[in-house]
Structure 1
Amino acid sequence: MSLREVAREVGIAAQSMYLHFADKEQLARAVAEDGYQRVVAAMRDADAQAAAHGADAGERLRAQANAFCTFARTERGVIRLMFGHNASGFGELGQTHPARLLWQQWLDAIHAGEEEGLRWPDGAEQTAILLWSALFGRFALWTSTFGRHDAQELTTFVDRTVDTLLRDAHR
């Protein structure tokens, strides 16, 4: 899709797009960056709400994992752009890849468990990778599983995945 097509779709003059974005790659990066910021904000909000209700780190992790999946489910186009094949170039030219923000959020969520005495068998980073990979992978399968798009399936998967991580952690 060209910048002209984007401008036409959103109802503005094509010249207006070029005032803000040099090309569609720059626009894609801006949309992806915004997506990473919004998903992390949703995760932080879920964490804060769970904490306000007295949840422990495990329940707060579950809340954040569900917030991630809810964002992915409701913002499919943005998620595709954030993790699409063209996203690999977002970190070029000395720029930090915008996914770093989301990675840090996953790490912070796992470290919160450590602060409450949980010890992850494979360490914090591997646990964060496992969780993020499992959730994103299940979401990708969910979106392409023969038209079955029951949101409860994702929630059930999140619960089972977090339960497994917490069961394997030790104090």
Structure 2
Amino acid sequence: MTRPASGRRVNRRGEGERLRGELVEAACRLLERLDGEESLSLRAVTREAGVAPQSFYLHFPDKQALMRAVYEARYAELTAGMRDALAQLDSTAPPTERVGAIARAYCRFGLTRPAEYRVLFGTLGTSGWDPETLPGLVAFQLFRDELAGCVASDADEVTVCLWASLHGLVTLRVNRPSFAWPPIDDLIDRTVAAYAGG
């Protein structure tokens, strides 16, 4: 198999989807180091992926389509971890335990993969997203569905409050590691109890 001067292996016929994934991962890596979407250029993405700039348009019509693919890929990883946490529970687990399980999975993603988490929640998004089609809505809905079994009031509002609190736990621990943080599971349990009861 021949390789271009960049050292990247040339895709065989029918491996175009692989290049699409490489462009998404290249954009992810760049966003981990940049301030926001506006700092990301398509030329930088193709250079990072080791392909010619014109290759980009074989897979994406524009930069916004690439950004959607980036966020969808990372949110899929986050929600997969949350769903796995639920799958490990007994079917009779109480609702608060279910919320606690996905809250711990959420925080674990953020604390063990801080660069990827920053792309999802610390990257300034300026692409004019439609609030009804945001890639992260699946994760939000997972929290909301589980919280609906715990609260009598507006589950959307409670979900926003819980999410903001968990985000604070993750972000502060990453940005201020020298603080004498209590164990993360204790903080998660206290936070879940405050919003989901129990």
Tell me if both proteins adopt one fold, taking TM over 0.5 as the criterion.
yes
Pair 1:55 & 2:98 matched = no
2:141 corresponding residue in structure 1: 104
How far apart, CA to CA, are the structure 2 residues paired with 1:149 and 1:105?
A: 31
Following superposition, the deviation at residue 71 of structure 1 comes to 1.6
Q: Matched residues in 2 for 1:155 and 1:10: separation?
A: 38
User: How many residues are paired up?
Assistant: 158
C-alpha RMSD of matched pairs (Å): 2.8
Contact 2:83–2:102, Cα closer than 8 Å, also in 1: yes
The amino acid across from 1:163 in the alignment is A
Task: Find the counterpart in structure 2 of residue 24 from structure 1.
Answer: 63
Counterpart among 141, 151, 159 of residue 172 in structure 2: 141
1:85 aligns with 2:139: no
CA distance in 2, matches of 1:163, 1:89: 35
**Structure 1: how far apart are the matches of 2:47 and 2:60?**
15
8 A contact 2:143–2:159 mirrored in 1: yes
Greater share of residues in helix: 1
Q: Which amino acid aligns with 1:34?
A: A
2:111 aligned residue: 73
Question: Once the 2 structures are TM-superposed, how far is the Cα of residue 154 of structure 1 from its aligned partner?
Answer: 3.4
2:186 maps to which of 143, 151, 156:
156
Give % identity: 35
User: Does the C-alpha gap of structure 1 residues 149 and 25 become closer, same or farther in structure 2, counting only changes over 3 Å?
Assistant: farther
Secondary structure of the equivalent of 2:61?
coil
| Counterpart pick for 1:132 among 138, 141, 163 | 163
User: Structure 1 residues 30, 56: closer, same or farther in 2, change over 3 A?
Assistant: same
Structure 1 residues without counterparts, runs of 5 or longer: none
Q: Look up the SS of the partner of 1:55 in the other structure.
A: coil
TM-score (norm 2): 0.66
